[in-house]
Amino acid sequence: MTEYPYPTLVLEPEQYNTLLQLGTQKHQTLSEVAVEVVRLGLETLKQRSDGTSDVRDRQPQKALECLNSLRAEIQQTHGIYSGDLVAEVRTEQEEQMEKIITEKP
């Protein structure tokens, strides 16, 4: 069996505390959590250097593309509203407040 050296790992206090909290939540030792975090980090770095990306990395881009196509479809169907929605809503709210204030009980 191959023996691996156990080098000293220097962490910032915040990193140490975060690993400790994760370990407590997952009922694992700090070392187990640190090994998992390093493994995940190395996998991510390897994917980035290989030019491959995880499905989760592409999801936001796909969502934006979908929203842009929906926006274009809505614009073609209904056009662009030329009014000032904020001003219209403010005016409507002011009218409602004035009506409430001037109403007699």
Average pLDDT of the residues of the chain: 86
Which spans in 27-84 are helix H?
Answer: 30-50, 55-78
Q: What is the pLDDT of residues 25-55, one digit of tens each?
A: 999 998 899 989 999 999 888 887 876 555 5
What pLDDT score was predicted for residue 57?
65
Chain segment 1-14, per-residue pLDDT in tens: 567 777 788 889 99
Q: Using alpha carbons only, how large is the chain's radius of gyration in Å?
A: 28
pLDDT recorded at residue 27:
92
Q: Which pLDDT does position 53 carry in this prediction?
A: 56
Predicted TM-score (pTM) of this structure: 0.44
DSSP SS3 for 97:
helix
| Three-point CA angle 9, 11, 14, nearest 5° | 155
